[in-house]
Amino acid sequence: MTLTRRGAMRLVPMAAGLPFVRHAAAQGSMGAAGVKRGGVLTSHLSGEQRILNPALRASTGIYIITSKIMEALVDLDAQGRPAPVLATGWEAAPDGKTVTFRLREGVTWHDGKPFTAADVQYTAMEMWKKYLNYATQLQQYLDAVDTPDPHTAVFRYSRPMPEALLLRALCDLGYIAPRHVFEGTNVLENPANTAPVGTGPFRFVQYERGQYVVADRNPAYWREGFPYVDRIVWRFITDRAAAAAALETGQVQVTCYNGISLSDLDRLKADPNYVVTTRGSEANAFNNTLEFNHRRKELADVRVRRAIAHAIDVPFFIENFLYGQGKPATGPIPSASTAFFPNNAPPYPFDRKRAVALLDEAGFKPGAGGVRFSLRLLPVNNGEDVPLLATFIQQSLQAVGIKVEIVNLDQAGALSAIYRDWNFDIVTGWHQYRGDPAVSTSVWYRSGSPKGAPWTNQWGWQSDAVDALTDQAAAELDPVKRRQLYAEWTRLINEELPIWMVTEREFQTAATKRLQSGLNTPRWGSSDWHDAWLAPA
């Protein structure tokens, strides 16, 4: 089965060994002749997470807003290579234990204070290392950030940090917060987490919960002549049919990350007034997930987890619920990751007889009404397909004697119940792969993440072998050896199945054709939109 019905673009590989920028050039230009300045760009969001600080929580639901307000050290250019933002250049020591960043001069925070290396040092040590859900693992061996002058930050590690890994990670896990706003406060409760102060092309104006977020053009932005639009408004519209209607009536101009229904995405592809494409999301392959709470005795038995996987007909779900957009996942590393994909097949194909045999073997025989045991399923409803998969799982497991109750909470409530309170049996949601397993994938399997950190290993599962391989692969400087380590890591994970990556997919963006300079980088929805503009209606 092809990745999409109409032939999707292949993801740009974010591999170790890609060439990286080592000069002081700024991204962007004055733009082509005919650019129309001004106006309001309105973006749709299907939900909110009640926090707007990407230095504390890594999530596209936050990036899509705050990446326009706060900036990272680097981002990806049109070819998928790390490119300068707040860092203008970098250099890694041969032993991989020191990475020096040269920082952009003349940049000011939106409150007028200067941006300096002290902000980088504070953010890295007090936010990324302590709280940021993926960075707590990535930066666990970060010992210090030295600041020999206001525009140099020297990251010192006790174990090697591959330069390619760090640079790719910092596109998502490298947002800088203002030290003067956070120092001496309760970092997690600081008002700037919902009213962010940044250095980006747009300045925060207002956040009305459940309704909208507004940011205005930053007249002091360091990229001269940018941004083009005067204001961005993000509207929260939870009803996907209403969101599609808002797009078609011009109330919003863009919706990213599958924000409207799959049926509307499929329909709008044929409308010449709109662009519906995977372009601009090549750096964010994603999976539908099934997550297990290993504190339940049934789910602690690997035979039960394997039985559940065998009981679900993934190709049928993709073809009949996802409009054919996707394919069964083969493990934690997607096929789009050419640098690390171990070229394996789906390990648990649909086989209901095998599922029944495994449940019997595990000692969970059918009882009254044919029910072996019951599970509570919490969907993290960040996509239309998530509740669809939850219902499909419910129906599929009923056929092998497992009764499933679906418990629906809003997104913030589900994240708290799962990752903070551990109050779940199984979970459906999304995982995003960001070019390297050590950025946002291995953290789903390695133990030791702080309780409450979303999209990390909070399952009550731990493997010494997986932990050791995770750390070894993340510190290996030789790309060939890294690939070999991740192949073994994948084998162990597929054998134990602590969580299950169910599908492998690409996000789609829908936008009016009035939107110009859009979709021009592989993480465009999460980029800063400094060069986006709107053609006349």
> What does the H/E/C string look like for 274-299?
EEEECCCCCCCEEEEEEEECCCCHHH
pLDDT over threshold 90, residue 477: yes
Q: Examine the domain organization and report whether 278 and 387 are in the same domain.
A: no
363 burial class (0-12, 13-18, 19+ CB within 10 angstroms)? exposed
pLDDT over threshold 80, residue 43: yes
pLDDT over threshold 80, residue 146: yes
Look at residue 383 in the predicted model and tell me its pLDDT. Answer: 81
Look at residue 11 in the predicted model and tell me its pLDDT. Answer: 23
The C-alpha R_g of the chain, in whole angstroms, comes to 23
Q: Is 279 left (phi over 0), alpha (psi -120 to 50) or beta?
A: beta
Could you give the percent of the chain with pLDDT greater than 70? 94
Torsion of CA 41, 43, 48, 54, to 10 degrees: -60
Spatial distance between the Cα atoms of 308 and 290, rounded to a whole number of angstroms: 10
> Quick one: which of 308, 338, 287, 282 has its CA closest to 509?
282
> Quick one: which of 332, 374, 56, 74 has its CA closest to 188?
56
pLDDT over threshold 80, residue 22: no
Q: Examine the domain organization and report whether 489 and 515 are in the same domain.
A: no
Contact 383, 431 (CB under 8 A): no
Average pLDDT rounded to a whole number, residues 521-525? 95
Residue 108: CB atoms within 10 Å: 14
Look at residue 426 in the predicted model and tell me its pLDDT. Answer: 98
pLDDT per residue as tens digits for the range 396-436: 999 999 999 999 998 889 999 999 999 999 999 999 999 99
Residue 513: CB atoms within 10 Å: 13
**Which CATH number goes with the domain that contains 224?**
3.40.190.10
Where are the alpha helices (H) located in 435-478, listed in sequence order?
Answer: 437-440, 464-475
Q: Examine the domain organization and report whether 414 and 455 are in the same domain.
A: yes
Domain that holds residue 375: 285-504
Residues in the chain: 537
Look at residue 48 in the predicted model and tell me its pLDDT. Answer: 85
Q: Is residue 116 part of a domain?
A: yes
**Cα 437-439-443 angle, rounded to 5 deg:** 80
Q: Examine the domain organization and report whether 137 and 121 are in the same domain.
A: yes
Question: Can you list the positions of beta strands (E) in 166-226?
Answer: 202-208, 212-217
Q: Examine the domain organization and report whether 147 and 105 are in the same domain.
A: yes
Residue with tokens 């990535």: 138
Average pLDDT rounded to a whole number, residues 119-146? 96
What does DSSP say about strands 503-504 and 327-328: parallel, antiparallel, or unpaired?
antiparallel
Q: Examine the domain organization and report whether 166 and 215 are in the same domain.
A: no
**Which CATH number goes with the domain that contains 121?**
3.90.76.10
Look at residue 33 in the predicted model and tell me its pLDDT. Answer: 62
Q: Examine the domain organization and report whether 452 and 318 are in the same domain.
A: yes
Look at residue 34 in the predicted model and tell me its pLDDT. Answer: 86
Asked which of 142, 160, 185 is the last residue of a domain, the reply is 185
Q: Is residue 204 part of a domain?
A: yes
37 burial class (0-12, 13-18, 19+ CB within 10 angstroms)? middle
Look at residue 14 in the predicted model and tell me its pLDDT. Answer: 28
Structure tokens at 448: 């030791």
**Which CATH number goes with the domain that contains 485?**
3.10.105.10
In the three-class reduction of DSSP (H, G, I as helix; E, B as strand; rest coil), residue 66 is classed as helix
> What is the DSSP code string of 291-321?
EE-TTSHHHHSHHHHHHHHHTS-HHHHHHHH
pLDDT per residue as tens digits for the range 244-301: 999 999 999 999 999 999 999 999 999 999 999 999 998 889 999 999 999 999 999 9
Q: Examine the domain organization and report whether 340 and 445 are in the same domain.
A: yes
**pLDDT confidence bin for 17, thresholds 50/70/90:** very low
In the three-class reduction of DSSP (H, G, I as helix; E, B as strand; rest coil), residue 76 is classed as strand
Q: Examine the domain organization and report whether 320 and 427 are in the same domain.
A: yes
Residue 455, CA distances (Å) to 105, 199, 501 in order: 35, 27, 13
Q: Examine the domain organization and report whether 312 and 233 are in the same domain.
A: no
Sequence-separated (6 or more) residues with CB below 8 Å from residue 523 = 63, 75, 76, 171, 172, 280, 281, 283, 284
Spatial distance between the Cα atoms of 238 and 80, rounded to a whole number of angstroms: 31
pLDDT over threshold 90, residue 94: yes
> Quick one: which of 293, 67, 316, 43 has its CA closest to 172?
67
- Find the range with the poorest average confidence among 51-55, 117-121, 431-435, 499-503: 431-435
Look at residue 15 in the predicted model and tell me its pLDDT. Answer: 31
Structure tokens at 188: 């997690």
Asked which of 185, 216, 231 is the last residue of a domain, the reply is 185
Asked which of 161, 185, 209 is the last residue of a domain, the reply is 185
- Find the range with the poorest average confidence among 13-17, 92-96, 116-120, 508-512: 13-17
Q: Is residue 321 part of a domain?
A: yes
**Cα 171-174-176 angle, rounded to 5 deg:** 130
pLDDT over threshold 90, residue 182: yes
Q: Is residue 138 part of a domain?
A: yes
Spatial distance between the Cα atoms of 101 and 86, rounded to a whole number of angstroms: 9
Look at residue 24 in the predicted model and tell me its pLDDT. Answer: 30
Contact 380, 414 (CB under 8 A): yes
pLDDT per residue as tens digits for the range 56-79: 999 999 999 999 999 999 999 999
pLDDT over threshold 90, residue 304: yes
> Quick one: which of 528, 526, 530, 533 has its CA closest to 68?
528
pLDDT over threshold 60, residue 479: yes
> Quick one: which of 90, 117, 76, 80 has its CA closest to 24?
90
pLDDT per residue as tens digits for the range 199-254: 999 999 999 999 999 999 999 999 999 999 999 999 999 999 999 999 999 999 99
pLDDT per residue as tens digits for the range 309-361: 999 999 999 999 999 999 999 999 999 898 999 998 999 999 999 999 999 99
Q: Is residue 20 part of a domain?
A: no
Q: Is residue 191 part of a domain?
A: no
Report how many domains make up the chain.
3
Spatial distance between the Cα atoms of 219 and 158, rounded to a whole number of angstroms: 41
Q: Is residue 410 part of a domain?
A: yes
**Cα 258-263-264 angle, rounded to 5 deg:** 70
Q: Is residue 59 part of a domain?
A: no
Question: Can you list the positions of beta strands (E) in 25-107?
Answer: 40-45, 74-76, 82-84, 87-92, 98-103
Look at residue 496 in the predicted model and tell me its pLDDT. Answer: 98
Q: Examine the domain organization and report whether 488 and 449 are in the same domain.
A: yes
- Backbone angles phi and psi of 90, in degrees to 5: -160, 160
Average pLDDT rounded to a whole number, residues 4-21? 27
Look at residue 284 in the predicted model and tell me its pLDDT. Answer: 85
SS3 content of the chain, % helix, strand, coil (to 5): 30, 20, 50
pLDDT per residue as tens digits for the range 3-12: 232 222 222 2
Q: Examine the domain organization and report whether 373 and 422 are in the same domain.
A: yes
